[in-house]
Structure 1
Amino acid sequence: MMKPLKSLFISYFYSILILPYSKLMENNLKVNNYLLLNTNNEFHSEVILQNEIMKP
């Protein structure tokens, strides 16, 4: 029960602290994908795939 809650908290924490800074970078999509992969592989794998498809 605690593991999903912990990973959700970590992703929330990263989205508040790190994602605003990564948006200032040129390669923000790569940074965001890296964070999502490290946060919760199973939960975010679909998001990563969508980002890869939507890249120009």
Structure 2
Amino acid sequence: MKKITSLLALALIPSLAWAHPGHDGVGLFHHMFDLLPIVAAVILVAGIYIWKKKQ
């Protein structure tokens, strides 16, 4: 549990920074909504690949 908590804390540290001027978002991931369809497609394809590989 301690390792998971440490990894989670390290993963969230970049989100503490303010976005560059011209954006209302907070953190380094303020462009995530622009990339979300691509990320979702990659996750879906990887999930299908792993599922097919196990069968």
TM-score by length of 2: 0.31
Please identify the structure whose Cα radius of gyration is greater. Answer: 2
Q: Which has the higher contact order (CA 8 A, sep 6+)?
A: 1
